[in-house]
A = this chain, B = another copy of it.
């Protein structure tokens, strides 16, 4: 009465695995080996969706069932064999069942920010099960305003660009009507082209510039051979380690002690218009403004923690992924990281933007490279996914902290996305803490006219993550006020329905 298992389980397993197995890339392996002690290499997203039909447990499971063949890695598990991770391979999981990966959770009453943030922190403290495909989707009910929250968890080892963008594509649409999807292929050989064809189908639609960039990125990822990408990363890591040895270690801060295995999380938003207006007012990039806001937030937060920013030996540093595609350059996804010093002792918000901007310019110039900036070219890896990978590489190669935190800023879609016909209202990034002395990091993601910020920290961080979020909000307000930007809600086009705590108003202070 047990249904006969597939051939793979009936004696010819070895042969079948040889046929279907895929070796781990060096990057996959490093993120798995690096996940020891307090380090958890799960990448997360927190997504809010408007309430309505289409979001039941079965409807979400069915949606994933219909499309998961687009992303074969999401049906594959690790086979560590007898030799452990050193020779691990990805094999199809014959026991794959969507329901084991999708959970329905509920918030404790009253279902406000506190309850949701605790829930996200608890969830990000839980590791993914290595005996299964390394992803989970949590549908969270019980929000006071009736919206649905979704937490996506994905192991960094799953995130080789194609998988990361692909899993998003399996659940999200660019129109309320779901995009039709090609059925699962009959043979292994037909697989690789599938996601590419699906991506191209998106590309013929009238897309925003950013969406087109995402689709182009996906296409490039899919056309890049994994071995080329791995070789690029290896080479980049060697250069990187050499450069790091010539840099001084990061300054000692209280948030760079050994972390625990437990996490806290908080998030906030700012209208993209405000950030852009500040960038225009200061004649700097959006990214420069974001880094200056982080600088302002850190200054407030350090003081609350009893540390005087003026008394620090050096400025704290952050690892920042940046694009270095040259004007007019076609193809070739040149992603880099720089380690930039944040001027926490500078009291003037606008002056902070200038200082950060000048430092970034210097780092991005050719001379800057030689002077200590770190440039990496990795075929097709998207920035949010790159930074934890690089942190792994960094922490493996040197024995001192090279940076104090990670700030990932990723441009996302400028138009709304949909999940089974329901509009996606907000999308927040959750970037893993890595290496083991990184007590906090900041993720930024622009979506549908709003910047979404996620603060992921060690649970033992004191003051806790909520104070960091408040410091961040204050830093945004201070900077907008200094630039004379009107932050009244009226200036925001089409505000999405949201809880008061998420819809913080940008009051002049």
Contact = CB atoms under 8 A, between A and B. Distances in A.
A16 interface: no
B5 A258 contact: yes
Nearest to A464: B1
A346 interface: no
A122 interface: yes
Interface stretch (A123-131, A239-247, A347-355): A123-131
Contacts of A38: 95
A103 B100 contact: no
A106 interface: yes
A104 B104 contact: no
A107 interface: yes
Nearest to A4: B257
Contacts of A461: 1-3
Nearest to A97: B262
Contact count band on A = 35 or more
A118 interface: yes
A305 interface: yes
Interface string A116-143: 0011001001110101100000000110
B131 A254 contact: no
Contacts of A3: 460-462
Contacts of A56: 108-109
State the oligomeric state as a number of copies: 2
A261 interface: yes
A131 B56 CA distance: 32
A58 B108 contact: yes
A122 B126 CA distance: 17
A275 B255 CA distance: 63
Nearest to A40: B131
A2 B97 contact: no
Contacts of A142: 106
Contacts of A459: 97
A460 B94 CA distance: 12
A131 B122 contact: no
A122 B97 CA distance: 9
Contacts of A109: 56
A463 interface: yes
A52 to B, nearest CB: 14
A460 B107 contact: no
A122 B103 CA distance: 9
A56 B10 CA distance: 47
A260 interface: yes
Contacts of A100: 122, 125-126, 262
A400 interface: no
Nearest to A127: B129
Contacts of A107: 104
A216 interface: no
B97 A108 contact: no
A454 interface: no
A462 B461 CA distance: 51
Interface string A455-479: 0001111110000000000000000
Given A56-B108, A57-B108, A106-B106, A255 B1 contact: yes
Interface string A216-253: 00000000000000000000000000000000000001
B127 A131 contact: yes
A400 to B, nearest CB: 16
16 contacts: A1-B463, A2-B458, A2-B461, A5-B260, A5-B460, A9-B258, A38-B95, A56-B108, A95-B261, A99-B122, A100-B122, A100-B126, A104-B105, A106-B106, A131-B261, A132-B261
- In order of increasing CB-CB distance, the 8 nearest A-B pairs are A106-B106, A57-B108, A1-B254, A1-B305, A2-B257, A95-B261, A95-B260, A3-B460
Given A3-B460, A56-B108, 7 more contacts: A1-B305, A1-B463, A2-B257, A5-B257, A103-B105, A104-B106, A104-B119
